[in-house]
Amino acid sequence: MNNHRVVSFDHEPLILVDANDRELGFMSKADCHRGEGILHRAFSIFIFNKDGYLLLQKRSTGKTLWGGFWSNSVCSHPRKGESYELATSRRLKDELGISTKLEFQFRFQYQAKFRDIGSENELCSVYTGIHNGPFHINPTEISEIHFISPDELDCRISQSPDEFTPWFKLEWERLR
């Protein structure tokens, strides 16, 4: 399966929201992430295998924000006119080459600055799903993946927190 296509674009229109997830308008992905960032809709997906191990992804080094950092299985943004259901399904296929049922867990707001490059400022909906593979990773988004036990992940985060994206650490703490 050829899954090497570019699936993320600086000009794609993201959905600006307020703290209650009400749509306020649209802005390009690049503009949403400039400076301190503008609050926009996002999602994170945690894929577990049947044994309860989490699929971690290492973000491609080509990513503008947190490239080369470990994170949850998939994270992205719904685009203008796209529901959470359509957006999460699209990104599972785009990044991992899979389809699976997802369950909504919670929504939270966070802001995180990355060096002098830009910031995340997101109202993020978190989903979980189960899939054992195979996976067909898209190298424009992901450099590597592997399953990890929750206990081993807790240990890695406590020993090397700077290897992980800020949203992932916040989400994992709440999921645990």
Q: Which two tokens stand for residue 69?
A: 């950092």
The pLDDT assigned to 7 comes to: 61
Indicate which residue of 122, 124, 141, 171 is catalytic: 122
Per-residue pLDDT at 4 exceeds 90: no
List own/partner pairs for 131-135 with CB under 8 A and 24 or more apart.
Answer: 131/47, 131/49, 131/55, 131/96, 131/98, 131/100, 132/49, 132/50, 133/49, 133/98, 134/97, 135/55, 135/96, 135/97, 135/98
**Is residue 141 annotated as a catalytic residue, yes or no?**
no
The tokens 């006119």 sit on which residue? Answer: 81
Segment 13-27 mean pLDDT: 96
> Which carries the bigger pLDDT value, residue 34 or residue 4?
34
The pLDDT assigned to 3 comes to: 57
Percent of the chain with pLDDT over 70: 94
The pLDDT assigned to 10 comes to: 64
Question: 160 by DSSP, 3-state: which?
Answer: coil
Q: Which residues contact 80 (CB under 8 A, 6 or more apart)?
A: 13, 14, 15, 26
pTM of the model: 0.94
Going by C-alpha positions, the residue among 30, 35, 38 that lies closest to residue 8 is: 30
Distance CA 172, CA 149 (A): 12
The pLDDT assigned to 12 comes to: 86
Instruction: Work out the mean pLDDT of the chain and round it to a whole number.
Output: 94
Binned at pLDDT 50, 70 and 90, residue 9 comes out as: low
The pLDDT assigned to 1 comes to: 47
Q: Which two tokens stand for residue 107?
A: 């929504």
Write down all domains in the chain, each with its CATH number in brackets: 13-175 (3.90.79.10)
**Is residue 75 annotated as a catalytic residue, yes or no?**
yes
The pLDDT assigned to 143 comes to: 96
Indicate which residue of 75, 95, 124, 171 is catalytic: 75
What are the pLDDT digits (tens) for 103-138? 999 999 999 999 988 999 999 999 999 999 999 999
